[in-house]
Amino acid sequence: MYLELKNINKKYGDYKASDDVNIQIEKGSLVALLGPSGSGKTTILRMIAGLETPDSGDIIIDGVRVNDIAPAERGIGFVFQNYALFRYMTVYDNIAFGLELKKVKKSDIRKRVNELIELTGLKGLEHRYPNQLSGGQRQRVAFARALAPNPSLLLLDEPFAAIDAKVRKELRSWLREMIYKVGITSIFVTHDQEEAVEVADEIIVTNKGRVEQIGDPVSIYKEPETPFVSEFIGQSTLIKNYYKLKGFEQGDYIGAIVRPEFVEAFKRDNSDFADVIDSSEVGTVTDILFRGNSLEVRLDVNGIELTTHRSLERRPIYIGEKLRVIVYRLFAVDEHRAYLLENTELQKKGFKDRRLDTYIYNENKYVVI
């Protein structure tokens, strides 16, 4: 294990920012710390960097306990949320700053800085000041600056928060590519699950100072272990009387979480679903929202509100129309854990899910939520 957090606790007054946090990260991995705001993810990042001190517990980097080692000696590159670029220094000087502090030879500094400028595609902007750059360019400078002294661990605090939505998507794949190219162990903080899923190969979900689940994006998505994860990941609705849905029986749960892709709604005369029509029930369309690449359809099934997505290629539907509805599966939750429940009617008949597999994975095997 390259980075290890052992039984970390941190309190701000009465507020537990870290509650017995245990994390292990392998060398070379790209990890996302994902959670809602106030979940303690940034605190974890700042403690690793040494910007905060844990009340108890050990932080171990490469086999060395670093709790008492100064932040600058930990071999960490840090990208701040707003990048914190030095406003009165040029792009070149920003990147060179860390090397100058290390008293690196001038010629070596020039070589390294130019190398990074080349790598990050900032050529021609060396003599600009940060306020003359776009959000994306600033992120590149922050990235290059953090990498300049050759750190062995890169920490990024909400690296995309300061960028407008349009460019953000581009930068995600750019950052992922860069990190792989450099081959540096990286941890980034985000509250955006789409971002975490798209960029990271391992996700640590945090909530209220606790680590809820650690795993790769697919397992976090498909096998949520706790009520929080099952509700937080994906577009989820919690329903109380799930047992009223056809194919599900009441168990010792407090409710169930249904995602849009678990719900199938089709017209009565749709021959594709002729064999499963017995297992379906009536749902009334209560609302239709245009989501660009699909429709988001709200349905009333037995008094339960369900949401599903509908391809624009399929036949049009209208509000008030009665459709046939099948719920393939749901996550039943009790106080502590989440359990996957399959539709028993479909299972009994040996029918398989018609769309889930094609829905979750795109051609790169990444999860699409």
C-beta of 137 vs 226, nearer to other proteins: 137
Shortest Å, Cβ 185 to other proteins: 17
The residues that touch other proteins, with contacts defined as CB under 8 A, are 49-51, 70-73, 76, 78, 80, 82, 84-89, 97-98, 101-102, 121, 134, 136-137, 149, 164, 166-167, 170, 174
Sign of CA dihedral 180, 186, 188, 194: positive
**Residue 95: its H or E element:** helix 91-101
C-beta of 123 vs 267, nearer to other proteins: 123
Shortest Å, Cβ 137 to other proteins: 7
Shortest Å, Cβ 42 to other proteins: 13
Shortest Å, Cβ 169 to other proteins: 10
Distance CA 36, CA 47 (A): 18
Shortest Å, Cβ 134 to other proteins: 5
C-beta of 141 vs 325, nearer to other proteins: 141
Sign of CA dihedral 93, 95, 100, 106: negative
- Of 38, 364, 47, 35, which Cα lies nearest the Cα of 195? 35
C-beta of 157 vs 195, nearer to other proteins: 157
Shortest Å, Cβ 136 to other proteins: 6
C-beta of 151 vs 247, nearer to other proteins: 151
Beta-ladder partners of 361: 367
CA–chain centroid gap for 223, Å, is 15
C-beta of 137 vs 237, nearer to other proteins: 137
Shortest Å, Cβ 80 to other proteins: 6
How big, in percent rounded to 5, are the helix, strand and coil portions of the chain?
A: 30, 30, 35
Q: What angle do CA 352, 214, 226 make, to 5 degrees?
A: 65
Sign of CA dihedral 354, 357, 358, 359: positive
Tokens of 308: 């599903």
Residue type, 243: Y
C-beta of 195 vs 231, nearer to other proteins: 195
Query: Looking at beta carbons, which pairs linking 21-28 to residues 24 or more positions away fall under 8 Å?
Result: 21/57, 21/209, 21/210, 21/211, 22/211, 23/204, 23/211, 23/214, 25/1, 25/185, 25/187, 25/202, 26/1, 26/2, 26/185, 27/2, 27/185, 28/2, 28/183, 28/184, 28/185
C-beta of 84 vs 288, nearer to other proteins: 84
